[in-house]
Amino acid sequence: MLKKKIITTPAAGEAILADAIRKVSQPSRRAFLQRTLTLGGLSLLTGCSISDDSAVEQALTKVSQFNDRAQALIFDPNRLAPTYPDSMITRPFPFNAYYGEDEVREVDGDAWRLELSGLIADRQPWSLAQLRKLPQTDQVTRHICVEGWSAIGKWGGVPFSYFLRRVGADLSAKYVGFKCADDYFTSIDMPTALHPQTLMALTYDGQELPPRYGFPMKLRMPTKLGYKNPKHIQAIFVTNTYPGGYWEDQGYNWFGGS
């Protein structure tokens, strides 16, 4: 059956934009879209011709895909995010997850093993003790949440670029994906994975990484929004097949640059 097409006018476009924002139920996603969507963007990306039964979802998807491409094009893998003195660390650093703090996953650090798969030459699992023997660095950087708040924290651990080279990852691959003990999952682009500030965080503020911040290991990326920084990581894989993510599959921007 042919679908009726509606040619949008400025007034109709404004109505669609309002409907898009009303349609999004999660407060964080609504705030994100309100900051990134514009009437001009909707009209441009949809070609001013929108199906009457799926106008909002099609518009949101096209805007998100456009944002991904634009952010990837302007991302500079050598440009560093700002760093700060210890005196500016936010204490206490806020807890953030898709569940309450009383539901934080407890992981046995002695039994934990980091599983590797995909386009990686050496897929042997890594223990926490082995990771701690690798070269370590730390950074005091700002965590920026899609909900509109930010906080400064001190993270320490293994430069992810060093680890990927150590295990023989295919650095020409498109994606690096993560699976977590709390059932969270996400993926990032390879240029971000190789960014000098992308860190396999094992400590917070000089101490062993607490469970509320992602024990035994999280990925810390000051060049990405908070939801792109997975906690309680159990598996890493390298692939050329788009892996998606927990929030990304629900409509969040995949590239997620801050």
| CATH number of the domain enclosing 216 | 3.90.420.10
Domain endpoint, select from 37, 52, 74: 74
**Band of the pLDDT at 75, cuts 50, 70, 90?**
low
Shared-domain flag, residues 17 and 91 = no
Residue 193 has pLDDT above 80, yes or no: yes
Residue 18 has pLDDT above 60, yes or no: no
Q: Which two tokens stand for residue 102?
A: 């009383």
Q: What mean pLDDT is predicted for residues 115-127?
A: 98
What is the predicted pLDDT for the residue at 74? Answer: 63
- For residue 218, tell me if it sits in a domain: yes
- How far apart (Å, rounded) are the C-alpha atoms in residues 191 and 176? 10
- Provide the edge-to-edge strand list for the sheet that holds 175-180: 126-127, 113-118, 233-239, 175-180, 185-189
Shared-domain flag, residues 134 and 226 = yes
Shared-domain flag, residues 218 and 171 = yes
Shared-domain flag, residues 32 and 91 = no
Shared-domain flag, residues 150 and 190 = yes
Shared-domain flag, residues 30 and 114 = no
What is the predicted pLDDT for the residue at 1? Answer: 44
Residue 18 belongs to domain spanning: 5-74
Shared-domain flag, residues 103 and 21 = no
Q: What mean pLDDT is predicted for residues 20-41?
A: 47
Shared-domain flag, residues 70 and 90 = no
Residue 105 has pLDDT above 80, yes or no: yes
Shared-domain flag, residues 112 and 177 = yes
Q: Which two tokens stand for residue 122?
A: 């050496």
Residue 186 has pLDDT above 90, yes or no: yes
Q: What mean pLDDT is predicted for residues 93-121?
A: 96
Residue 233 has pLDDT above 50, yes or no: yes
What is the predicted pLDDT for the residue at 3? Answer: 42
Query: SS3 of 251, please?
Result: coil
What is the predicted pLDDT for the residue at 77? Answer: 75
What is the predicted pLDDT for the residue at 78? Answer: 81
Rounded (5°) CA angle 233-207-91? 95
Shared-domain flag, residues 61 and 107 = no
- For residue 186, tell me if it sits in a domain: yes
What is the predicted pLDDT for the residue at 7? Answer: 43
- For residue 255, tell me if it sits in a domain: no
Shared-domain flag, residues 23 and 144 = no
**Band of the pLDDT at 172, cuts 50, 70, 90?**
very high
Shared-domain flag, residues 243 and 179 = yes
